[in-house]
Structure 1
Amino acid sequence: MNKASVTTSVKIWDLPTRVFHWTLVFGIGFSWLSAELGGLWMDWHMQAGILILALIIFRIIWGFVGSETSRFSSFIKSPARAIHHWQELKDRGTAYYAGHNPLGAWMVVFLLVGVLLQAISGLFVSDDILVEGPLYGLVTESTAGALTSFHHLWFNILLLAALIHIFTIGFYKIRKRTNLIKAMVAGSADWPVEQQPIPDHLSFKSPWLALSIFIIVYAVVHFGLDFLKTL
């Protein structure tokens, strides 16, 4: 075994970030399926949308108070740094990062903002037959129509971004021998010992703190929407 193939396991992602990631993946998938099925499934579609909205708000909060690798300050870099990472990939094969790399970080930001816009617009949609978002009554028909059109169109853009994200993960796995999915599932990555320093002193926050934050966020979103519907 040559030196380049020697790796050590390094914890990268905390449990809250991993649970958020996969819950969001399944939540978006369910939202798409329930919208395609229509009918009574739209009630579940609305509930999934509320859950997704709470998830995104939680992740934004966790990006400021959460574990080191989950904080925006640790992975959002300048566009110039993202371009430099692309050069690293071409020159060195793979440049490992304790968390999101500078290119992937911008995709994460886009997806967070994009899904947030999708969830918020869904609160005001209407199909003019049976389906109305919980805040439909707060806007004019023309505004609701515009937001409904946006909700449908924007999902296609998010779908394209998600496909690019999946393609990139496959590229790292096949061409760069970097298993990004394993790290997001197990929390640990296979860090090459030749790349120093090895990030073995990362700080992680308690999952109970994350759970408390999410419960509060979900309660505020759920009961806040109920209150707004009465206005």
Structure 2
Amino acid sequence: MRDKVAIEVWDGWIRLFHWGLVAAVLVSFYTTKTSGAPFLFPVEVHAQAGYLVIGLLVFRWLWGTLGSVYARFKTFLYPPAEVAAYSKSLLKRQPGTYASHNPLGGWMVLLILLSLSFQAMSGLFLSDDIFFQAPLYGLFGDGVDSQLRTLHQLNSDLLIILIGLHLVGLIVHRLLGESLVAAMLVGTKRFRQQPVDERNEPFNAATLRLRALGALLIAAGVVLWLWFY
């Protein structure tokens, strides 16, 4: 049997983003379902978790353009024909091997990021009408705020569906012998055959560190502005 080839796919920044986002989203969802302990004012914690989500998303959108090769959107967003072909091969239990997200997974990632971005941004215009008002509440008037409240609630249901599909995808790939969770923990994937999307692009580590620092500073600035607005 051919030895497995190890490829470093997910850089440390992507892994920190991913698990930080998981934690922030879990806190955000939890605080919509509780009215007491362990949080004195769950709605404020919900908002603060939302600010962190926005900061993380700002970083991810920037890193998806300027970051390491497998973190870039252009690496894992495929045209419809390739998505259809991959879907057919998956149904036959003969999917191609991808280092980054496969054609279906890539578009699922984009949908989740877009849905999370809308959820977090729309929350900036809301109020609980009692204790809390978000930083941009009232900016466009009551009518817009009311519409955004409705869309915020509807999109939360969509998010649950998307996250559920994401978890199903993880299970399916585990059954096919690919542990995506382990790869997101350690950053490395092991393959028995050459991945379809393997990239050997040269990169300058110092340049990537500077880009990461710039993206982090922008994201942190957004979070701090929202937190202390």
**Is the pair's TM-score, using the shorter chain for normalization, greater than 0.5?**
yes
Cα displacement string for residues 141-164 of structure 1 (whole angstroms, at most 9, x for unaligned residues) = 222122112112211110110001
> Quick check: 1:11 aligned with 2:1?
no
Instruction: Kindly state the Cα deviation for residue 65 of structure 1 after the two structures are TM-superposed.
Output: 0.5
> Quick check: 1:48 aligned with 2:45?
no
SS at match of 1:137: coil
Inter-CA distance 203–32: structure 2 relative to 1 (3 Å threshold):
farther
Inter-CA distance 93–121: structure 2 relative to 1 (3 Å threshold):
same
The within-5 A match list for 1:41-190 is 41-91=42-92, 93-174=94-175, 176-190=176-190
Q: Judge conservation of contact 1:30–1:48 (CA < 8 Å) in 2.
A: yes
Partner residue of 1:195?
194
Instruction: Kindly state the Cα deviation for residue 196 of structure 1 after the two structures are TM-superposed.
Output: 6.3
User: What TM-score do the two structures reach when normalised by structure 2?
Assistant: 0.87
SS at match of 1:147: helix
Instruction: Kindly state the Cα deviation for residue 37 of structure 1 after the two structures are TM-superposed.
Output: 1.9
Distance in 2 between the 1:171 and 1:165 partners? 10
> Quick check: 1:23 aligned with 2:32?
no
Inter-CA distance 198–140: structure 2 relative to 1 (3 Å threshold):
closer
- Larger CA deviation: 195-204 vs 9-18: 195-204
Count, aligned residues: 222
Partner residue of 1:35?
32
Cα displacement string for residues 75-119 of structure 1 (whole angstroms, at most 9, x for unaligned residues) = 111111111112232456231112111110100110111100000
Q: Which amino acid aligns with 1:109?
A: L
> Quick check: 1:216 aligned with 2:218?
yes
SS at match of 1:127: coil
Distance in 1 between the 2:197 and 2:105 partners? 20
Q: Which amino acid aligns with 2:19?
A: W
Q: Over aligned residues, Cα RMSD in angstroms?
A: 2.3
SS at match of 1:138: coil
Q: Judge conservation of contact 1:35–1:41 (CA < 8 Å) in 2.
A: yes
User: What TM-score do the two structures reach when normalised by structure 1?
Assistant: 0.87
- Identity within the alignment, %: 32
